[in-house]
Amino acid sequence: MGGKTKQAPRTKNNAKPSSSSRSAELLGSTTPVFVGFSAQADGNLVPFAPGFASAEQMPETFDVNISPQTQIILRKLSKKDPMTKKKALQELHELITESDLDTLKNILPLWPKFYHNLATDIEHAVREQTQLVLQLLMSKCKRAMAPYLKQLVPVWLASRFDNYAPAASIASNSFRETFARTCEVCLHCQSEIIEYTTRNLTFHTPATLSIGKNLKPEESEQKYQRVVISSLKELSFFMEHTAPAEDVEQLRQGLVTLLAHQKFWTFAKHKQPAIKAAWFECIYHMLQCSKLLEVLTPQKSQLITTSFQFIDDADPLVAPHVWGCVLLLQSNYNDWYAPLNIRKALLPKLSTLLSNAFNRNAQAICPNLLPFLSKITPDSLQGLDIYEFYQRFFDNLKAAIVGPHDPPLSKSDTSIMHSSYFECLRFMLQQINNDAGRTELVEQFAFGLLEQQLLQPIGQLLLSENAHAKYFFQHTSALVAFWDRQCNNESNKSSCSLYVKLLNVFWTRIFEMVTQHLAAEDVNEQWLSHVLLLVQDLHVANPSLETQCVKFLEADVEVTTSEKTSQPSTPSKKGDGYAAFIQKELKQLVVKLVRICLDKANSSNNSARYIHQIRTLTKMFADAEFYKSLTDMAELEATLDKFVVLLEQMNNEACEAVVEILFEMLALLEPAQRFDYIAQKLLKLQQHRVQNLLLHRLLSYPLCTEPAVRQMLASPETCAIISRIAEEVVVDNNRDKLNLLHKCFFQTDTGDILINAGTVDKIVLAMSAPLEQPPSNDMVEVCGSFIAQIMPVICSQANSSLAVRQQVFLRLYKFSLEQRVGDHLSEDTLWEITTCWQDALSSKDIEIDDVLLRSCAEIVEELANNAELNAGSLESMAEAMAKFVICSTENIEDEPQRLTRIDETIAALLSSELKTDETVLQFERHCVYLETLQESISAGVAFDHADLNEHKILPLLRRVALNFTTICKLVCRVENPQLAPQTNEGEDELTEDYCDPNANVLKQWSESIITEILQSVKVASTAETWMEVNSQLTGSGEELVLCLSEQIRSFMANSSELVDIIKERMKQAAVQQDSVMSCRQLGYLIYYSQYAAFEESATILLHEDLAELFVSQGALKAYVMTLQHMLPKLSQKALNLNSAIMRTEPPDMWVKAAVFRCLLLNNFQSDLNEQTDRNIIASALQFLTRVGEQQNAQKELLHYNVELLTQPYESVLNTVEIIQLLNEILQRFPHELTIKNWDAIRIGLSSWVLTVSKSIIHYSDPKTSFFIVAVFQLFATLINFIRSEKQKSSTEMLKNVVDEWESLFAREVNVVLFKAYYQLTHDTTVQPESRVCYEALLERLMPALELLDYSFVYGFCKAPNSKVSLDHLCNLLLKQLHSSQHSVRMNAVQALRQLTPHFVADDIMVNDKQNDNLEAASSTICKWHFLNRFEDYLTRYDALMRKYLEEFSFKLTDLEDLEPIDRHDAFSYLLIWDCIINVCAKSPVALRSVYTSWLNENRYEENFLHFLFRAMPLASIEG
């Protein structure tokens, strides 16, 4: 059909293609190929066991009851690809899991064939999955598998020993889970097991096991080795578990056949250690069973020769089994040595094995040495002298133990080698000792063993750096202790005569070795440490062995061996008792060593090396006789003096050891003598370290309880030492010294402490000093914790002076207020310190008098002025202050007296110079002024100044926030306090340590507390205003304001009668109409419970209630001021002509104007309005018309052309509100204005600017500032309207209004406003406290100034008779380019841009004239043009920028080190160049040439270009 040519079928590791027909053929083969043991006459082979067939003998067809899916899976199992078989096994596993028993019974007859094939597969994953399938089958089918067990068990048992651990583990687990009695299963299948293993070991080869597998040679070999190992181990397993059986005839016959086959013996010499180990393990189990010994008899000689041939095998797998066979051969056959040539076959191998440290296989071989040695007899040595053998044996073993090894032996090998060595040595000497008929020659042999095998190695190890010397010394001590015990326990001394002689020789030689080397002038450090190690081991010597592999009998020799091996033995301190020589020979040796070391220490420059050794030795014996024997006088005092002399020469760590020895000896004296010696000699020592150690001893139990010690501690010398230690602790933070100070405050049963009050004062003052420093290290935490712990002690029973207690209390109190958790101060320590002084107050250990209260208040005042305080710090401080108030008064039982004291304490803590009534009033006026300027609201309360130093505001707010938070802690309940968890009975019960947070809340509130709260609320309201109008507020300042405001809101939401009182007082204050903030603060009432529940509608409800209150009481001013602050939060159209205020007739004009303005703002903010809204506009215009008529009658009503300073505040406020109402209407409804209204605006504005001109000099007067801003705003609104109207078609009336404005009013209004601005900014000196108000005023004027027409200003200044010349004008604007106020700078730039065309036009005329007169042109080129006015300012800026240019060299390597440029100076410099470039751009070519020539001649351009490069970002320059 045009497709590709069909390729040949794929092949894989075989010559024929894969096909389902071939698979079916293989499955259906009927000719048995698998061979068995017996052959037929025709030469064919039959299966070796019923039901077993080869891998290829698979069924051609399956039972009809087997599902097609199962048949497919079974066919896959015979595939050659491992992955296919693995997936098929997984599918079979899933199938078995999902199938029931009846379904599974159909495949059970087939499973043994597949299992036999797959369990020995070359791929380990297939074998693992096969075992999983068998495990699942056995668990599901159980008894249904019984008919097939004999086919499965042989292979199943072999799989237990698979070299792939997961497969072996699964097979073992499944076998153990299936069969509870292994022996019965093995006996049931013994015929099959024996035949299976025998055939694998005698018939099969790698080739026969791989028929039809197409395996690589190495794969075939691996499979064969695995089958051999598992078969040998299976046979061992079978023999081990069937050993108790009576009838072993079938096994015996099978083993006869196996042992007769020569191939079986080749496995003993196989190159693979695993096969060799499995073979010897199998032989071991044969030898272990007495019923099978006769089977081995024909091969006895071969077996002995083979076993002893491999006695030096070092493989850890092989060696244990080889030695097990050797020991069983020795035990089972008395003539075991007959087939061997001992001299040639055994001794050389044994010597090599021992001297080579068992070829690093000591763990496997060493436990067998003693049983092996016990079977060596003179006959077995075939003529060799037995003592010669012993000598050779021990020499070789000693060489392995003492000699060097590269690399070093492991600890486990070293330990077990020592154990075996000393077991054999003890056994050998015990044999000689128990031989009553021993000859002199034999005894000499025993002494030789002692000298050569024990003493000589000790001598070598003392001088060597062998790290394993400790093992030799430990076992030596145990051996010597064993001899000693035998000598002391035996009533018949003749039975241990050899031990007596050996002990005498041992101690004589030890004394010689130790004293000989120690007498040398320079003692080797390594030798000295090894001597101590030996002495220590002898001191704890125990004759018993913790774990024995041989039982030593004291009367005769009997060796009991275990079946195979045993664990190594190690000496132990626990046993039958310590050796008797410890109090005799060893004590003498220690005395000798101590005396020599003492002499060495006194004469040596490095006495410390000997002191540590002396201390180690003296720990062994601490009795009086021992210490007396250390000097020739044999008196304790003489020994004490000797150590004191030694102590006087030292001041290092070794002092501690000497002091320990001294006090051990002092404990042996009589009390009077002991304390006299301490006082007269020890305390006179001057070394600081020694003094510390002595003091530590005196302060420790039990000495500290002695009256004599108390007297010593009270002495001036001891007090000086303790004071010195306290001063050192705060410097070096030494833990030992700190512990010593703690001991000083140990309390006796009577509550007294160990030191006097004077010493206590010095300690606590020194230790509390770091609390006054910022936490820079751990010392603050250490000292704080120390003081907190000892505070109850020093405050009780006059243990310290009152002045010091109070001083320490103040330090702790200040620390709690000031410090916060950080890197060097943990939360636990801070809590500990805070709780400490609170407990002192609560327990009346510290009583607060007036003087101490003032000191506490001063601390609060000092910390409250800290600029680093944040909201979290204030909260913590307030918590501590509230606790101070409660704790200091809670013990006053008389309630009125307690409340009075609480008021006094609160007043003292909360009073502050930072928060006086005058400061609060100044802050309020200041913020009212700023808000009135910026937000155009009504400052309805008269005030004459608003100046305030900005630096006073944040301290004021911090103090108010601190005070208010403190009061809240005292008066506010904690809502829903966390109770203790429920008990088992389900009842809410408070635990013993539960503290009700509302227990100490004040229930009665004094007038001072209420006044403080009201003041805090007012300050918080003022602070919110300050935050809204201050654009340069820092993050910390904003956080402080928000924190205070949130505290007020939280307080107002608290359910308390106090909040009700505060609410009423706030309303009363507003009704008084004497403070703007009293009205503004009413906004906090929306958080009051009465309104808070209504959420978004809370403001509307509050407004309605306040409107009713104020209108009913005639407080209309208060209503207007409150309304203006609440207006942004009121919903649209919340006000209308039917509101309560509209039904009144306010006596003040500004109230009416302000109400109308609020109506307009509330009703005309949205894009859509109703027809009825025109009534509001009409009412407003009608009101303005009436005002205009009143102005006609009263000429000064609206302050036309008057000076405002002398005018009443409220009259000016009336005019300001009228102007603002006009401004609002002009912005929103200009087309609704009538001609009368326009006349009022034009005439009014032209008259009001004259008032501004007359009053501008008094700009600091609040009412004047409000008026100026209102007039400038009205001017800006009017100009914007006129400019917009000129851009579009308009009504005839409006055209006439605009024309009349421009022809009659525009020039005068623009000039007068500029003159007022000039007067405001020219040579004006502003005081620091007025700077903020002055800048706020300028900020509000800038929008109007930007709309000035400078053509009128230019003409005015150019007039000959003008007081403000063009020079004045330019100087003003150029000077303002460097103003710190951004809006002023930008206004100056805009003004210069407007003036540039006029100046350029003049320069063009002058330039034309200059061109006519060349001589004049050359002489005056730099003096006539506009840019010449910039010269002075450019020169000043060049001087400012020069410091940045001098260090700039265009080198990239120097760019990172350049000084940052001042942004203000740089921006001003760029602005003046912007103006210069604009001048050049606006000028014609000829004039521009003049300008550029002037710039070039003065090098201004060059400096500017350099500065541009210098000011570029670093990345731009590098690019």
Using one digit for the tens of pLDDT, what is the confidence trace for 923-948? 999 999 999 998 888 998 999 988 98
- Other beta carbons less than 10 A from residue 800's beta carbon: 26
CA distances from 217 to 209, 1321, 1512 (A): 12, 108, 78
The DSSP line for 1270-1312 is: HHHHHHHHHHHHHHHHHTS---HHHHHHHHHIIIIIHHHHHHH
Q: Residue 941's pLDDT is what? A: 92
Alpha helices (runs of H) in 519-666, residue ranges in sequence order: 525-539, 585-603, 608-618, 624-628, 636-648, 654-666
Residue 976 has pLDDT above 60, yes or no: no
Q: Residue 568's pLDDT is what? A: 38
Model confidence, pTM:
0.66
Q: Residue 1413's pLDDT is what? A: 66
Confidence of residue 1133 (pLDDT cuts 50, 70, 90): confident
Q: Residue 975's pLDDT is what? A: 66
DSSP 553: P
Using one digit for the tens of pLDDT, what is the confidence trace for 1302-1326? 888 889 999 999 999 999 998 778 8
Contacts of 599 (CB under 8 A, 6+ apart): none
Which has the higher per-residue pLDDT, 857 or 705? Answer: 857
In terms of C-beta distances under 8 Å and separation of at least 24 residues, what long-range contacts does 1447-1454 make, across chains too?
1448/1506, 1448/1509, 1448/1510, 1450/1509, 1452/1517, 1452/1518
Percent of the chain with pLDDT over 90: 29
- Tell me if 418 sits within 8 A of 401, measured CB to CB: yes
- The tokens for 620 are 């062994």
Burial letters 560-575, b for 16+ CB under 10 A, else e: ebeebbbebbbbeeeb
- Tell me if 396 sits within 8 A of 420, measured CB to CB: no
- Segment 1087-1115 shows an average pLDDT of 89
- Tell me if 1270 sits within 8 A of 1223, measured CB to CB: yes
Interatomic CA distance for residues 1269 and 1176, integer angstroms: 26
Contacts of 406 (CB under 8 A, 6+ apart): none
Interatomic CA distance for residues 186 and 178, integer angstroms: 13
Which has the higher per-residue pLDDT, 1168 or 1425? Answer: 1425
- Tell me if 1026 sits within 8 A of 1041, measured CB to CB: yes
Of 555-564, 971-980, 1232-1241, the range with the highest mean pLDDT is: 1232-1241
CA distances from 40 to 35, 45, 993 (A): 11, 7, 96
Using one digit for the tens of pLDDT, what is the confidence trace for 566-586? 333 333 343 445 677 888 888
What is the average pLDDT score of the chain? Answer: 84
Question: Residue 39 phi/psi, 5° resolution?
Answer: -105, 145
Using one digit for the tens of pLDDT, what is the confidence trace for 770-818? 888 877 777 888 888 998 888 888 887 678 888 998 999 999 999 988 8
Residue 1450 has pLDDT above 70, yes or no: no
CA distances from 852 to 277, 482, 746, 799, 856 (A): 91, 77, 29, 20, 6
Q: Residue 1501's pLDDT is what? A: 85
Interatomic CA distance for residues 37 and 196, integer angstroms: 10
Using one digit for the tens of pLDDT, what is the confidence trace for 680-712? 888 888 888 888 888 888 888 888 888 888 888
- Segment 1181-1191 shows an average pLDDT of 88
Q: Residue 155's pLDDT is what? A: 94
Interatomic CA distance for residues 93 and 1200, integer angstroms: 108
Which of 1443, 1432, 1463 is closest to 1503 using CA atoms?
1443
Interatomic CA distance for residues 442 and 429, integer angstroms: 10
Which of 245, 232, 330, 247 is closest to 283 using CA atoms?
232
Q: Residue 39's pLDDT is what? A: 33
Interatomic CA distance for residues 322 and 280, integer angstroms: 6
- The tokens for 974 are 């904690």
Interatomic CA distance for residues 775 and 777, integer angstroms: 6
Residue 250 has pLDDT above 70, yes or no: yes
Interatomic CA distance for residues 1178 and 1188, integer angstroms: 15
- Segment 105-118 shows an average pLDDT of 88
Q: Residue 559's pLDDT is what? A: 37
Q: Residue 33's pLDDT is what? A: 35
Interatomic CA distance for residues 1132 and 1162, integer angstroms: 5
Using one digit for the tens of pLDDT, what is the confidence trace for 12-42? 444 444 433 333 333 333 333 333 333 333 3
Residue 1086 has pLDDT above 50, yes or no: yes
- Other beta carbons less than 10 A from residue 1446's beta carbon: 8
Alpha carbon 15 to its chain centroid, in Å, reads 67
- Segment 182-194 shows an average pLDDT of 89
Residue 973 has pLDDT above 80, yes or no: no
Confidence of residue 1454 (pLDDT cuts 50, 70, 90): low
**Window from 106-110, 155-159, 1250-1254 with minimum mean pLDDT:** 106-110
Contacts of 669 (CB under 8 A, 6+ apart): 636, 677
- The tokens for 23 are 């698979």
Residue 58 has pLDDT above 80, yes or no: no
- The tokens for 453 are 């095998």
- Tell me if 368 sits within 8 A of 330, measured CB to CB: no
Confidence of residue 104 (pLDDT cuts 50, 70, 90): confident
What is the SS3 assignment for 39?
A: strand
**Window from 205-214, 471-480, 674-683, 1345-1354 with minimum mean pLDDT:** 205-214
- Tell me if 855 sits within 8 A of 810, measured CB to CB: yes
Q: How far apart are the first and last CA of the chain?
A: 69
Using one digit for the tens of pLDDT, what is the confidence trace for 728-748? 988 888 888 889 888 888 887
Using one digit for the tens of pLDDT, what is the confidence trace for 517-545? 777 767 777 788 888 888 888 888 877 65
- The tokens for 684 are 């006179």
Question: Residue 822 phi/psi, 5° resolution?
Answer: -155, -160
Alpha carbon 424 to its chain centroid, in Å, reads 58
- Tell me if 964 sits within 8 A of 881, measured CB to CB: no
Burial letters 59-78, b for 16+ CB under 10 A, else e: beebeeebeeebbebbbbbb
